[in-house]
Amino acid sequence: QVTLRESGPALVKPTQTLTLTCSFSGFSLNTSGMCVNWIRQPPGKALEWLARIDWDDDKYYSTSLETRLTISKDTSNNQVVLTMTNMDPVDTATYYCARTGTISGVVTGWFDPWGQGILVTVSS
Amino acid sequence: EIVMTQSPATLSVSPGERATLSCRASQSVSSNLAWYQQKPGQAPRLLIYDASTRATGIPARFSGSGSATEFTLTISSLQSEDFAVYFCQHYIKWPPWTFGQGTKVEIK
């Protein structure tokens, strides 16, 4: 069974750096084609894809946020870390991690499954 | 960036009725389209991928169709547990991988 779980602070101050950890089980980021994504959702709003890291350490970022985002992986501990610098109240959202899997070694593209999410509030 | 537009924003349907949700892409995404269901306080759940393939465990009343820029999610006979928000998402090769703004299916 594949599971993912997000962890990190519930509250950060403006200008601070947010660090979130996605801990997963049931798959390995050493497996060809496996990827982990970060996606966020402001309260009552739509989903926004933020970043993805692949089994081969390729990394992809949202065009609008790439200067503020860094994604990394700790394969031995089955964790993926996202940092977002210079946090602002508009960054208040539930942050999810989600797997992108593989079929016959080819990256699929959709997100399944998702973690439960973590609500991060940016406020002084 | 590909813009995904969903319509309507809200759909009022009676239990047992059919619901039809639309998703339009600003350029062709071929069949690289997924649908998700999200209930209040929960993470999204994958329903459909490759535009028309049901994910594991998804009931047959959910079906997807379309290609290129026009897609449809149909729920053939709405059950009480189907009232939720539905999002579409494209996944062509290069990012960003974008979502629609969602359609809320509510009880009429």
- Give the alpha-carbon dihedral of B2, A41, A123, A84, to 10 degrees: -60
Whether the predicted pLDDT of B94 surpasses 90: no
The per-residue pLDDT for range B24-63, each reduced to its tens digit, is 999 999 999 999 999 999 999 999 999 999 999 999 999 9
Give exposure, A71-107, as e/b (b: 16+ Cβ within 10 Å): bebeeeebbbbbebeebeeebbbbbbbbbbbbeeeeb
Residues B24, B8 contacting (CB under 8 angstroms): no
Element housing A87 (H / E): none
The per-residue pLDDT for range B3-28, each reduced to its tens digit, is 999 999 999 999 999 999 999 999 99
Whether the predicted pLDDT of A25 surpasses 90: yes
Mean pLDDT for the stretch of residues A37-56: 96
Q: Give the pLDDT confidence score for residue A105 in this predicted structure.
A: 81
Q: Which residue has the tokens 């999810």?
A: A96
Q: Give the pLDDT confidence score for residue B101 in this predicted structure.
A: 97
Q: Give the pLDDT confidence score for residue A80 in this predicted structure.
A: 98
Backbone angles phi, psi at A34, to 5 degrees: -85, 140
Q: Provide residues of A within 8 Å CB-CB of chain B.
A: 45-49, 52, 60-63, 96, 98, 108-117
The per-residue pLDDT for range B58-90, each reduced to its tens digit, is 999 999 999 999 999 999 999 999 999 999 999
Q: How far is B21 from chain A (nearest CA, A)?
A: 16
Q: How far is B29 from B32, CA to CA, in rounded Å? A: 6
Q: What's the longest Cα–Cα distance across chain B?
A: 40
Pairing of strands B103-107, B10-13: parallel
B95:A62 CB<8 A: yes
Mean pLDDT for the stretch of residues B84-104: 95
Q: Which of B30, B2, B23, B20 is nearest to B98 (CA)?
A: B2
